Amino acid sequence: MFELSGKRALVTGASAGIGLATAEVLRELGADVVVAARSEEALREAAATLSASYVVADLSDARQIDRLLAEVGPVDILISNAGGPPTGLPSAVTDEAWQRGFELTFMSSVRLARGVLPSMRSRGWGRIIAITSLTVNRPLLGLPVSNALRAGVTNYYRSLALEVARDGVTVNTVAPGYTATQRLAEVFKSPEDEARTLQEIPAARLGTSREVASAVAFLASNEAAYITGQELLVDGGWGI
């Protein structure tokens, strides 16, 4: 089994769902973990359960990301994750919704990665991993902002991987499929909608947050040192 003792990890969007499960798995593997999210109450509770420290920050705000990074200091592992961007039909997305999605989904992943990189490069070891989505390779009708911007994050991370590979820093993305969390309540419009989706998943079930978290933990390990610029789908075969 992998172990991460001596490594310090920052996991954002970690008061619930995939972020919280990732923080849990990294803690179990021995990492020192800092969790971040918007709402203090849930975050404080999560941090206490995990024996992690926490910083409240809204990831759609550049200044709050700067403050978060300053408070956390150097980290060895960054897990860039946040809530999903606005939903709706492709032709109906307003400029305001695009802008909101851009700040939350795209720029947060750019700003967090850029912020943690210098100290990783100087130490010659680092892991940068963004949580994206199954929509990266196969768009879903109601998620145009996610479809477009996750592809942007994926290719930006691949670009960054090219730049920093020789410094011992790997940069990858993990794309969850349909995973049983609060977010799915926004995605499924009805029980029939959910039943239809289950029929489309070769594994015939939703994924769990821990299944996504375990893939993230592998990419964060020493053992994954030669894997960079990759997108790892954890989707029960949906994207095949």
Q: Which of residues 63-82 bind ligand NAD (CB under 6 A)?
A: 81-82
Among 144, 176, 216, 221, contact with ligand NAD (rule: CB under 6 A): 176
* Segment interacting with ligand NAD (CB under 6 A) among 25-33, 52-60, 158-166, 214-222: 52-60
* Segment interacting with ligand NAD (CB under 6 A) among 26-34, 177-185, 190-198, 222-230: 177-185
List the beta bridge partners of residue 32.
8
Q: Which is nearer to ligand NAD, 14 or 220 (CB)?
A: 14
* Segment interacting with ligand NAD (CB under 6 A) among 67-75, 118-126, 128-136, 195-203: 128-136
Q: Which of residues 131-150 bind ligand NAD (CB under 6 A)?
A: 131, 133-134
* Contact (Cβ atoms closer than 8 angstroms) between residue 35 and residue 23: yes
Is residue 104 a contact residue for ligand NAD (CB under 6 A)?
yes
* Segment interacting with ligand NAD (CB under 6 A) among 33-41, 87-95, 192-200, 214-222: 33-41
Is residue 84 a contact residue for ligand NAD (CB under 6 A)?
yes
Among 136, 178, 217, 233, contact with ligand NAD (rule: CB under 6 A): 178
Q: For the residues of the chain, what is the DSSP string, one character each?
A: ----TT-EEEEES-SSHHHHHHHHHHHHTT-EEEEEES-HHHHHHHHHHHT-EEEE--TT-HHHHHHHHHHH---SEEEE--PPPP-S-GGG--HHHHHHHIIIIIIHHHHHHHHHHHHHHHHT-EEEEEE--GGGTS--TT-HHHHHHHHHHHHHHHHHHHHHGGGTEEEEEEEE-SBSSTHHHHH--SHHHHHHHHHH-TTSS-B-HHHHHHHHHHHHSGGGTT--S-EEEESTTTT-
Q: Which is nearer to ligand NAD, 145 or 164 (CB)?
A: 145
Q: Which is nearer to ligand NAD, 90 or 124 (CB)?
A: 90
* Distance separating alpha carbons of residues 213 and 211, to the nearest angstrom: 5
* Distance separating alpha carbons of residues 14 and 72, to the nearest angstrom: 15
To ligand NAD, the closest distance from the beta carbon of 226 in angstroms equals: 26
Q: Which of residues 192-231 bind ligand NAD (CB under 6 A)?
A: none
Which residues contribute to the site for ligand NAD (CB under 6 A)? Answer: 13-19, 37-39, 58-60, 81-84, 104, 131, 133-134, 176, 178-179, 181-184
